[in-house]
C-alpha cells in the first residue's frame, strides 16, 4: 500500500502539532509537544530526513519516525 502522504511535500503550515520524546508513552511525560514554529520545523525536518524509516497513519493524520532514542511525530490538519 502506498503512503497517503508525500512526506517530502509536508510544509510546517500543514502541521497542527508536533511531538518529540523518548520511546514509550506520548502523553507528554517522556517528551514535549512543540509550541513554537522553530521546534515544528526541526521535528518535521528530522522526519523528512529519515523518510525511509517513517510511518504514516492510514488516514494521513500523522507521520512519525522512531530513532533508537527518540520519537518524532507531526500531526497534520
pLDDT for 3-40, tens place per residue? 568 999 999 999 999 999 999 888 889 999 997 999 99
C-alpha–C-alpha distance, residues 75 and 64, integer Å:
9
pTM of the model: 0.90
57 within domain boundaries: yes
3 within domain boundaries: no
Range of the domain at 23: 16-76
CB atoms within 10 A of CB 31: 19
Q: What is the pLDDT of residues 38-47, one digit of tens each?
A: 999 999 999 9
Which cell goes with 19?
Answer: 511531538
59 within domain boundaries: yes
Amino acid at each position: 500500500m502506498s503512503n497517503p502522504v508525500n512526506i517530502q511535500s509536508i510544509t510546517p503550515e500543514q502541521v497542527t502539532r508536533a511531538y518529540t520524546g523518548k520511546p514509550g508513552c506520548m502523553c507528554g511525560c517522556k517528551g514535549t509537544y512543540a509550541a513554537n514554529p522553530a521546534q515544528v520545523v526541526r521535528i518535521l525536518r528530522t522526519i523528512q530526513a529519515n523518510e525511509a524509516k517513517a510511518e504514516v497513519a492510514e488516514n494521513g493524520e500523522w507521520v512519525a519516525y522512531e530513532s533508537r532514542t527518540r520519537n518524532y511525530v507531526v500531526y497534520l490538519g
